[in-house]
Amino acid sequence: MEEVEKSSGNGAAAHAFDANQAGWRQFAEAATQEAFCSSWLSLQCSQIDGVGGAVVLLGSPDEGRPFTPVAFWPDRQHDLKHLAAVAERALAERRGLILKRPSPNGNGKGPRYDVAYPIQASRRLYGVVALDLDPRPEAELDVVMRQLQWGSSWLEVLYHRNSTVIKQAPAERLQAVVDVVATTVGQERFRGAAMAFVTTLATKLACDRVSLGFLKKGAIEIVALSHSAQFGEDTNLLRAIAAAMEETLDQESSVVIPSAVERQIQVTRAHGDLARQYGNGAICSVPISDPSKFSGVVTLERPADQSFDDAAVKFCQAIVGVAGPILQMQQRDDRPLWRKLTDAGRTQLENLIGPGHSILKLSVLGAVCLLLLMTFINGDFRVTAKTVIEPATRRALSAPINGYIGEARRRAGDAVRKGQLLAKLDDRELQLERSRWRSQEEQSLKQYYEALGNRNAPQAQVLAAQIDQARAQVALIDDQLSRMQVTAPFDGVIVAGDWSQSLGAPIERGQVLFEVAPLDAYRIILQVDERNIADVNVGRRGRIVLSGFPTEPLPISVVKITPVSTASEGRNYFRVEAQLEGKTRPLQPGMEGVGKIEIDRRKLIWIWTHEVVDWLRLKLWYWLP
């Protein structure tokens, strides 16, 4: 009996070992998430004694409910509804929980336990595992919880692996898109870019042929075929490809044959004809769109046994979505100038005639109305010129002798009255010289009287001459001393000269110290452009506005046209003199402003465009032979 029992025990152990091995094998070979979780739950329950039932609930990470069951133990028919409470609490609190539950039927074996542990990876909640445990000592519950904690790390590995695969796939697609776009934009001309695009795309997706076509005058024009630098325009192949592309544009969506079961119903007649005639049973056509319309199509062809799945179609759409607008832009930029102007004019004309574009229509209507007004309405034609106020006369006050500045009473900008002291020269040397000659005169006069007393006629004559010389020198010095003070010759304003910061500075005879201009006599100087000088005549009237009096136009009349031009700012200007008419407020020499000389009345359109027209005439005359 003992041997039989022992043999029975060994057979049971061997059976458990085989089941355990089968569970591990299923766990290692699991290809889906459900199979992985089912084998994992089976292994967990085999390592924990007294499990009455278990369930694994999974859902989208951190999106809350619903969390749906994906694995059961021992099977789906087992009633596990009582585990919902502990599973919900574990999900809400994100920690392992153990809840007591009375034994069914009151068998008195002690309470049962509902255990739940959340499944987390990278701090994201993916689901929960819940177990129904038989009655046992509470000390053994820690072992159960520790086993679930260790076992959940296997599910964490699953989610880390899946997330890596999910992240890696878009990165690879993005790299492929970048490679195709880089190859496209690396070409200078549109033809080269189109050929590089279709050839690179054919290589990336293992296609027999990739075609690129753009909409032109309502029909598709094939602009590039992969691995074909030259191709005819009227071949049957091009017509079949163009028909397939037009079929894609009509439906405004990608067309794929053979189509997947879940793909929406599409018209594929032209694609089917292309596949039958040229042997490529798998075709994918992706439209190229700009912000307003579909303007081109990319058609990819493969053998029938290499059909386009959803991943390949999405990849094609991503590449075309990025590279298509770039090719459109290169095609527009590669057009000749006359074509660009024609297309731009056609587009604006369509916008003007077609619906919408209210702002454009109103703008054109306003421009036409303005042009008509300018054509039929006359306006005052006036020649505009820069204006400067100059004094009618300028009196220069110069130094009478070589000397030094002794005193400066006035400077430039000061208004002065006739005879007012402006500056005074240092006269100390002249005073000393005058004293010396006065002394010599007195000495000679004394000697002269002595010679007369001695009846010495020759000596008296010599002394008389010396006396006359001394008196002449004194008279000369007195005249110079009388001119040592510089005074104003008339009422006016000092327009030049400031010696207040140069007291004691040496000056030379004839050096100009001050320039004084009268306050009641002015000349108006207008700088008239040489292109308008022919319209200006003596006697023309006009107005000037000075910067100092911007609200008070002053009437003027032209009195002189100087036949000498001066260059300024790249243009030639003639000096035109005018005079003020009527009584005006006192002005200051040097004031500037803008003057307008009235010519006559002419059409507004001529007034505003004659300068441009004259410039064009001059350039045309220059270039014509």
Helices and strands counted in the chain (H then E): 13, 24
**135, 103 Cβ separation under 8 angstroms:** yes
Domains 186-334 and 521-623 share a fold: no
pLDDT interval class at 8 (50, 70, 90): very low
Give the mean model confidence (pLDDT) for residues 359-376: 87
What is the rounded CA–CA span in Å between residue 410 and residue 500?
Answer: 8
Among 207-221, 261-275, 318-332, the minimum mean pLDDT is found in 261-275
pLDDT interval class at 165 (50, 70, 90): very low
Three-class SS string for 223-250?
Answer: EEECCECCCCCCCHHHHHHHHHHHHHHH
- What percent of the chain has pLDDT above 70? 85
> Residue 96 contacts by C-beta under 8 Å, 6 or more apart in sequence?
90, 115, 116, 117, 118, 145, 148, 149
| Per-residue pLDDT at 594 | 93
What is the rounded CA–CA span in Å between residue 464 and residue 443?
Answer: 11
Residue in the block written with tokens 């898109």: 177
What is the rounded CA–CA span in Å between residue 404 and residue 17?
Answer: 128
Among 205-209, 316-320, 425-429, the minimum mean pLDDT is found in 425-429
User: Does the pLDDT value for residue 128 go beyond 80?
Assistant: yes
User: Does the pLDDT value for residue 285 go beyond 80?
Assistant: yes
What is the rounded CA–CA span in Å between residue 156 and residue 123?
Answer: 10
| Per-residue pLDDT at 428 | 79
What is the rounded CA–CA span in Å between residue 3 and residue 91?
Answer: 51
- What are the boundaries of each domain within the chain? 17-165, 186-334, 339-374, 428-483, 521-623
The predicted-structure confidence for 373-389, as pLDDT tens digits, reads as follows 888 888 889 999 999 98
Among 29-38, 137-146, 501-510, 569-578, the minimum mean pLDDT is found in 29-38
Run of H or E residues at 379: strand 378-391
Give the mean model confidence (pLDDT) for residues 505-510: 81
User: Does the pLDDT value for residue 536 go beyond 60?
Assistant: yes
What is the rounded CA–CA span in Å between residue 286 and residue 181?
Answer: 16
What is the rounded CA–CA span in Å between residue 348 and residue 68?
Answer: 59
> Residue 80 contacts by C-beta under 8 Å, 6 or more apart in sequence?
53, 54, 55, 72, 130, 132
The predicted-structure confidence for 36-46, as pLDDT tens digits, reads as follows 788 888 888 88
Average pLDDT score over the chain: 79
- What percent of the chain has pLDDT above 90? 4
Among 80-84, 284-288, 613-617, the minimum mean pLDDT is found in 80-84
What is the rounded CA–CA span in Å between residue 302 and residue 313?
Answer: 13
| Range list of β-strands (E), 474-591 | 485-487, 492-496, 506-507, 512-518, 522-529, 541-546, 549-568, 571-580
Domain 521-623 in CATH 3.60.15.10? The answer is no
Give the mean model confidence (pLDDT) for residues 540-547: 90
The predicted-structure confidence for 580-605, as pLDDT tens digits, reads as follows 887 766 777 788 899 999 998 988 88
CATH assignment of 186-334? 3.30.450.40
| Per-residue pLDDT at 596 | 93
- Cis amide prior to 291 (ω within 30 degrees): no
What is the rounded CA–CA span in Å between residue 263 and residue 253?
Answer: 12
Query: Which residues does residue 517 pair with via DSSP β-bridges, in sequence order?
Result: 493
Run of H or E residues at 131: strand 124-133
User: Does the pLDDT value for residue 9 go beyond 70?
Assistant: no
What is the rounded CA–CA span in Å between residue 157 and residue 3?
Answer: 46
Using the Cα atoms of residue 288, residue 231, residue 281 and residue 203 in order, give the sign of their dihedral.
negative
Give the mean model confidence (pLDDT) for residues 499-504: 77
Cα–Cα–Cα angle for 154, 127, 88, rounded to 5 degrees? 135
The predicted-structure confidence for 384-414, as pLDDT tens digits, reads as follows 999 998 887 777 888 877 777 877 778 887 7
Among 104-108, 155-159, 443-447, name the most confident range. Answer: 443-447
Give the mean model confidence (pLDDT) for residues 272-291: 83
User: Does the pLDDT value for residue 169 go beyond 50?
Assistant: no
Other beta carbons within 10 angstroms of residue 484's beta carbon come to: 19
pLDDT interval class at 425 (50, 70, 90): confident
CATH second-level architecture of 17-165? 2-Layer Sandwich (3.30)
The predicted-structure confidence for 101-115, as pLDDT tens digits, reads as follows 776 655 556 788 888
Specify the length of the chain in residues: 625
Dihedrals φ, ψ of 59, to 5°?
A: -160, 180
What is the rounded CA–CA span in Å between residue 481 and residue 478?
Answer: 5
Check residues 78 and 168 and name the one with the higher pLDDT.
78
What is the rounded CA–CA span in Å between residue 471 and residue 432?
Answer: 15
| Per-residue pLDDT at 143 | 82
pLDDT interval class at 221 (50, 70, 90): confident
**402, 468 Cβ separation under 8 angstroms:** no
| Per-residue pLDDT at 387 | 92
DSSP notation for 256-274: EESPPTTSPP---HHHHHH
User: Does the pLDDT value for residue 23 go beyond 60?
Assistant: no
Give the mean model confidence (pLDDT) for residues 517-536: 85
Residue in the block written with tokens 């009437």: 555
User: Does the pLDDT value for residue 620 go beyond 80?
Assistant: yes
Among 107-121, 310-324, 359-373, name the most confident range. Answer: 359-373
User: Does the pLDDT value for residue 10 go beyond 50?
Assistant: no
Cα–Cα–Cα angle for 275, 281, 282, rounded to 5 degrees? 110
